[in-house]
Amino acid sequence: MASKIEFAVQMTCESCANSVKSSLAGVPGVNNVTVSLPEETVIVETTLPSSEIQKLIESSGRRAILKGYGDSAKAGHQGAAVAMLGGLTGSALGDVKGVVRFVQVDEDTCVVDGTLDGLSPGPHGLHVHECGDLSQGCDSIGEHFNPYKTQHGSPKDEPQMRHAGDLGNITADENGRATFRLTDRVLKVWDLIGRSVAVTEKEDDLGRGNSPESTVNGNSGTRLACGIIARSAGMFENSKKICACDGVSLWDERDKPLAGPGRRTETYTANL
């Protein structure tokens, strides 16, 4: 199922807008592109992960920042959430970190979109867990989210044969990056806020293995990184261009630390 993704894109002239359109033209999985130069926004209807679309847009020489997700059939959505794994806001055993987004595009479909770095090449399990408690790292996030008390299985299984949090496997490339876009018919975004998502050391056997752990957690090994799932903006819900707290603009934000002396802009600090 295609969905719409909204990006803020630095564009100052018609040539910029045309370059962005060209970067997305003819790409398999890109169904439609709407570029607004006055609003500096690009809306892409696609079946590709948001990180792939962002990379394509930035190949035009313009910076792009994801602003929101929406349904392909309408501008809105029924809930959106995001989790930052590892880094400063999540937890990880090593250098694994990244972002996973959840968007409820209709009552029956949740899109799970993400990019994780620092993994070993190959498949790794991805699961939603019942708790958003990182007090002991990924050891305190509980078991797989399983409101119906079923056994572990595959995301393709019937609801009574899987955990709601069973998202199967994602695959990291030779550089340790996993980029993915999944659709799930059991997960509901409104049930996920405050819970967590984790990526595991090994491949999830989807409940088909011989180990006793197979129908419990897919025998997928140690949780490498996890993060709390928080509510996020959907289509047209994020109009921020500059942070009122510290003067950091939308375009400068990803080059700044999340907090500390390096966060505020010089101009903003001088005006305090």
Q: Cα–Cα distance between 229 and 83 in angstroms, integer? A: 4
Query: Beta strands 97-106 and 109-117: pairing type?
Result: antiparallel
Q: Cα–Cα distance between 31 and 49 in angstroms, integer? A: 13
Give the model confidence (pLDDT) of 127-181 as tens digits. 999 999 999 999 999 999 999 999 999 999 999 999 999 999 999 999 999 999 9
Q: Hey, is 74 helix, strand or coil?
A: coil
CATH, domain 80-231, list 3.90.550.10, 1.10.1040.10, 3.50.50.60, 2.60.40.200: 2.60.40.200
Give the model confidence (pLDDT) of 43-82 as tens digits. 999 999 999 999 999 999 999 988 887 765 554 557 889 9
Q: What is the structure's pLDDT at 106?
A: 84
Q: Cα–Cα distance between 221 and 228 in angstroms, integer? A: 20
Give the model confidence (pLDDT) of 80-118 as tens digits. 899 999 988 899 988 999 999 999 888 889 999 999 999
Q: Measured at the alpha carbon of residue 21, what is the angle toward residues 16 and 25, in degrees to the nearest 5?
A: 150
CATH, domain 3-76, list 3.40.50.12780, 3.90.1660.10, 3.30.70.100, 2.40.50.180: 3.30.70.100
CA-based torsion, 223, 232, 27, 22: positive or negative: negative
Q: Cα–Cα distance between 8 and 5 in angstroms, integer? A: 10
Give the model confidence (pLDDT) of 11-47 as tens digits. 999 999 999 999 999 999 999 999 999 999 999 999 9
